[in-house]
Structure 1
Amino acid sequence: MFLFAGGLISAQDRAISPNQLPKTAKTFLYAHFKGIPVSSAVEDREIYGVDEYKVYLNNGMKMEFDSNGNWKEVDGKHQKLPYGFIPVSIRNYATRNFPNTYIVKVEKKRWAYKAELSNGLELEFDKNGNFKKIDD
């Protein structure tokens, strides 16, 4: 009988204590989301080790961190994000060009940033925070 061992190489999510997050992620949470309790933290493991961490806050916000604890995505779930960690050029562009909106989600990719506004527009920026296009 042949058994397929595919289960051994699949990703595994594991609930962890917020204290088990990398120091960088804990510092980020303390600096920008102080006073908002973490409802859950998840470690996403791949065969080579930790791939990323997902953190859910009591107010519904969700964030993803890389294996070193650097933020990759912060999703306010339609709530205004604190702007302290968002590059200044992105904050300024959004405030100047869309004055009656606010940033509700931001993603940091390898070569770009994406910022979603409260009106549903998605703005794309290069890795230096220079505006590239609107992606609605």
Structure 2
Amino acid sequence: MKNAKKITGVLMIMFLLISGFIAAQDRAINPNQLPKNVKNFLAFHFKGIPVASAIEDREIYGIDEYKVYLSNGMKMEFDSSGNWKEVDGKHQKLPYGFIPVSIKNYSTRNFPNTYIIKVEKKRWSYKAELSNGLELEFDRNGNFKKIDD
């Protein structure tokens, strides 16, 4: 009976230690610590908008992603190499310079009185949210697939 309790106690401690190592650890960083391509992306597409905060999301195997919050409320996510994954304008118009031209052209041609407020790049597709609430889905080449409302 005592050995069973000891074994259970040891297993519980091991479980807690392992789960602590596996859990994601977000850490606030200085914007100067962001990867060079993130800093270049921000300087080029969001010039003059200060970074309010930057978060480094660490996993056991290294950095998973970076989250950047601008002073105007916009939020961005970048992969561990500093490539953009998602840009959320929080209902503000996004600059179109980093959005694939075919997505920009499709949205402005078919929805002339709207603008893109959020864009997400996935492995095989893109998603763009318009100011009227519609979500447009595109394949990885920027070809229109469907509308979600």
Bin of the TM-score, shorter chain as denominator length: over 0.9
**Aligned partner of 2:39: which letter?**
K
With normalisation by structure 2, the TM-score equals: 0.90
Deviations 1:73-109 (A, max 9, x none): 0000000000100000000000000000000000000
Return the match for 2:59 from 38, 42, 46: 46
Aligned to 1:78: 91
Aligned to 2:4: none
Query: In the TM superposition, what is the alpha-carbon distance from 1:125 to its structure 2 partner?
Result: 0.3
Aligned to 1:65: 78
Alpha-carbon distance between aligned partners in 1 of 2:34 and 2:92, rounded to the nearest angstrom: 24
Return the match for 2:41 from 9, 28, 36: 28
Query: In the TM superposition, what is the alpha-carbon distance from 1:39 to its structure 2 partner?
Result: 0.1
Return the match for 2:120 from 101, 107, 114: 107
**Aligned partner of 1:73: which letter?**
E
Q: Which has the higher contact order (CA 8 A, sep 6+)?
A: 1
The runs of 5 or more residues in structure 1 that have no matched partner are: none
Query: In the TM superposition, what is the alpha-carbon distance from 1:9 to its structure 2 partner?
Result: 1.5
Query: How large is the RMSD of aligned CA atoms in angstroms?
Result: 0.6
Runs of 4+ in structure 1 deviating by more than 3 angstroms, as ranges, are none
Alpha-carbon distance between aligned partners in 1 of 2:81 and 2:35, rounded to the nearest angstrom: 6
The runs of 5 or more residues in structure 2 that have no matched partner are: 1-8
Deviates more, 1:32-41 or 1:5-14: 5-14
Alignment of 1:131 onto 2:137: no
With normalisation by structure 1, the TM-score equals: 0.98
Structure with bigger helix share is: 2
Query: In the TM superposition, what is the alpha-carbon distance from 1:59 to its structure 2 partner?
Result: 0.1
Q: Percent of counterpart pairs with the same letter? A: 82
Deviates more, 1:21-30 or 1:1-10: 1-10
| Structure with greater Cα Rg | 2
